[in-house]
A = this chain, B = another copy of it.
Amino acid sequence: MTTVTLAQVAQQAGVSAATVSMVLRNRGRISQATRERVLKALDDSGYVYNQTAANLRNRSSNQVGLLLHDITNPFYGEMTAGLSHEMERHDLLLFLANSEESGERQQNFVDSLMRNSACGMVLCAARDTPPSFFEALKRRNIPAIMVVRPLNDPDFDFVGTDNFLGTQMATSHLLNMGHKNIAFIGGSPNSGSRSQRIGGFTSTLLEKGISPNSDWIVSTQASQLDGAKVAESLLTRYPEITAAVCYQDIVALGVMQALRKIGREPGRDFALVGFDDITEAALVQPALTTVSVAAKEIGRMAGELLYSRIRGNEEPPKRIILPPALVILESCGYSATPATGSAKQQKAVM
């Protein structure tokens, strides 16, 4: 298993290494005759291009990084698929890392990318990432696209969803169904996404002349369990609440549990809207009406933008905010599309 080098191929073809290199990359003007000789030699020798040598010479690479905090989350799985597809289209290799919300792992990954001369990265930063992280990143001068988690730093490109509009749509839907006492459940207090979603929620209420009740806006951890716990206490205390906009689908699922525990049936005695459009939303009963954020599209757009930056696009940083869509299923007591109609349900293992 000896590695064949350009020079060896060149010798075999009776030309110089430079010529072979140009043939390989379709550069320069090579006569048809020699080109064919070279191609034959390449084929015969079983030559494997050494990208490492090329990268060293070019001080660059064709490798980009993707940092997530939880790849097991279906939302990020979708996003990764979108990004991966886009990267392959441009012959870029994708490094994946899972920070698991650890700032240290996150830093290690970025450092590692730098050592490997990655040509760009897509980041969904860990919670509570210090500003110093982003400052250091800017100094690196390497294209970096932020995704999903909004960042208050105008120097970075960002691709995400319109949290504000999303909850506006959700809230309007509930108002149109006749609800007036609506709660907002979920999210952690220091989340930027949450601020935006609450903004959409309260502004829509106010447009209809309803004053938001701050006691009815509660935060939870990002789990079904905590969603259930918090919702139970909220709804026991304020039985007059008849509907809720949830920060995430996962929290909405918890609220469903809580409702049943206190003897109220979601979709009949209580209306519920989630956010994210995860696969599970369409599977529970009643199927959860939710705001879809087009995870795959976020990945695709991030990839497209990153690629343009790598190509040298020097335009000012962009914020690409994808429009959300309200997926109306059953949890608000009204079924526009049957739960079995979702494309999301066509998944499988193996």
**In whole Å, how far is A249's beta carbon from the nearest beta carbon of chain B?**
7
Alpha-carbon separation in the docked complex, A126 to B50 (Å)? 26
Which residue among A1, A52, A80 has the maximum number of chain B CB atoms within 10 Å of its CB? A52
Separation of A73 and B253 alpha carbons in the complex (Å): 20
Q: Indicate if the CB atoms of B77 and A81 lie closer than 8 Å.
A: no
User: For chain A residues 20-62, which have a beta carbon within 8 Å of chain B?
Assistant: 48-53, 55-56, 59, 61
Q: Mark A77-117, 1 if CB is under 8 A from B, else 0.
A: 11011001100100101111110100001001100101111
CA distance A279 to B281 in the complex (A): 12
| A310, chain B: closest CB distance, angstroms | 16
Which residues of B sit under 8 angstroms from A253, Cβ to Cβ?
283, 345
Answer whether residue A71 sits at the interface, using C-beta atoms and an 8 A cutoff.
yes
Q: Which chain B positions have C-beta within 8 A of A276?
A: 349
Q: How far is the CB of A236 from chain B (nearest CB, A)?
A: 18
Nearest neighbor of A87 in chain B, beta-carbon distance: B97
Contacts A81-B71, A108-B88, A346-B224 given; does A52 touch B61 at CB 8 Å: yes
If A345-B225, A349-B73 touch, whether A95 touches B95 (CB-CB below 8 Å) is yes
Answer whether residue A348 sits at the interface, using C-beta atoms and an 8 A cutoff: yes
Does A270 have its Cβ within 8 Å of any Cβ on chain B?
Answer: no
Highest count of chain B CB atoms <10 Å: which of A55, A71, A78, A257: A71
Number of A residues with CB within 8 Å of any CB on chain B: 78
Is A284 interfacial (CB-CB < 8 Å)? Answer: yes
**Contact A80-B84, Cβ < 8 Å, known A93-B95, A251-B348, A349-B249:** no
Shortest C-beta distance, A139 to chain B (Å), equals 8
Residues in B whose Cβ lies below 8 Å from that of A61: 52
For the complex, give the distance between the alpha carbons of A98 and B250 in Å. Answer: 26
Asked whether B50 lies within 8 Å of A115 as measured between CB atoms, the reply is yes
User: Please, what's the 1-or-0 string for A113-157, where 1 marks a CB less than 8 Å from any CB in chain B?
Assistant: 011110000000000000000000001010000001100000000
Residue pair A48, B114 in contact (C-beta under 8 Å) = yes
Q: Which of A303-344 contact B (CB under 8 A)?
A: 340
> A residues engaging B (CB < 8 A)?
1, 3, 48-53, 55-56, 59, 61, 63, 66, 70-78, 80-81, 84-85, 88, 91, 93-98, 100, 105, 108-109, 112, 114-117, 139, 141, 148-149, 187, 191, 193, 221-225, 228, 248-251, 253, 257, 276, 278-280, 283-285, 296, 340, 345-350
A-B contact pairs, 11 of them (CB 8 A): A48-B114, A50-B117, A52-B55, A76-B349, A84-B98, A88-B109, A91-B112, A93-B97, A191-B350, A193-B350, A224-B340
